[in-house]
Amino acid sequence: MSDLANIRRHRRLRMKPRLRDMVRETALSPDDFIYPLFAVPGSGVRTEIGSMPGVFNLSVDRLAAEVEPAVALGIPAVLLFGIPETKDEVGSGAYDPNGIVQRAIRELKRQFPDLIVIADCCLCEYTSHGHCGMVRDGVILNDESVELLVRAAVTQAEAGADMIAPSDMFDGRVAAIRAALDQRGLTQLPILSYAAKYASCFYGPFREAAQSAPAFGDRRSHQMDPPNVREALREIETDIAEGADIIMVKPALAYLDVIRAAHERFNVPLAAYNVSGEYSMVKAVAKLGWMDGERAMMEILTAIKRAGADLILTYHAVEAARLLSA
């Protein structure tokens, strides 16, 4: 018994809820969240995505109703994806000034002038083959694809987007997009770059939502190899040098070490994408009754923030903000 006289009593600060509140090191807030949305053609469309319960494909006229609770809960930003009417080899829908995302941006900015509307900038939702850029003889081309991404970014900016988020992982795209925006006088429009994006199976449910699974091959020639972390730091360093204002690590949950390393090394705001597969896993286990879904959600989001993310892109945004404000 006397052996215990001088032990450190860590439990002292855990004994009362208010004490735990006082010494808590990480707190989530609704303004940490960015809420992803999927715009589809047509009107009156609100179709739940099978593998992502609670997430919907929405026609432009249905976006506002989905965004309203998010705004009311204090979520500052949305990330827009578009699924076009028709897809082609060169992803024309991505840089059509009247394309699905451009129309969605205009509509959201009209209804919610203060909402930060971020445009995801990639070709994979718009190409018939589902790749993120141009393909020739089975090879995914870099520089030709960057040219198309620049066109997409410019039309998104001209439609009124508050931020451009290139998600393709081609080399040199941040510099090219920055130059094109600056040339048009859009020097104050920030770029959130998907800087360290891994070739991950956790995007599976998203590809159902965006109908963007590659028709052949995979994304391993441009997205990163999961075992690498130093490579992520090289990618991020390059994107910052090219003009990225906010950098992103994606996915989040299986890459908390990458988030931590990026947080320690770089002094720009850091975002992490709590991707579709991470969301769907929580929904699935909750449905099976194997875990408490709400607690799993909050623990995961807290862990992403604790690892060093300043911003979290998450399909849980509205649910989590609701719990935080309860």
The residues that touch ligand PBG, with contacts defined as CB under 6 A, are 120, 122, 124, 167, 203, 206-207, 219, 275-276
Tokens of 208: 């159902």
Closest CB to ligand PBG among residues 50, 325:
50
Please indicate whether residue 16 is annotated as part of the active site. Answer: no
Task: Give CA–CA dist 78/321, Å, rounded.
Answer: 14
Q: Which is nearer to ligand PBG, 207 or 260 (CB)?
A: 207
Catalytic choice (16, 109, 250, 305) = 250
Cβ-Cβ contacts under 8 Å for 178 (sequence gap 6 or more): 191, 242, 243
CB of 122 to ligand PBG, least distance (A): 3
From 87, 197, 283, 305, active-site residue: 197
The region, left, alpha or beta by phi > 0 then psi within -120 to 50, assigned to residue 20 is alpha
The least distance separating ligand PBG from the CB of residue 221, rounded to whole angstroms, comes to 13
Partners of residue 56 on adjacent β-strands: 48
Question: Residue 234, Cβ neighbours under 10 Å: how many?
Answer: 13
Give the list of residues 6+ apart from residue 51 with CB closer than 8 angstroms, or none: 204, 205, 208, 209, 276, 280
Cα–Cα distance measured from residue 82 to residue 63, given in angstroms and rounded to the nearest whole number: 12
Give me the least distance between CB of 232 and ligand PBG, in Å please. 16
Closest to ligand PBG by CB, 52 vs 108, is: 52
Peptide bond before residue 251 is cis, with ω within 30 degrees of 0? yes
Strand partners, 79: 36, 118
The answer to whether 87 is a known catalytic residue is no
CB closer to ligand PBG out of 59 and 314: 314
Looking at the Cβ atoms of 83 and 159, the one nearer to ligand PBG is 83
Q: What are the catalytic residues?
A: 197, 250
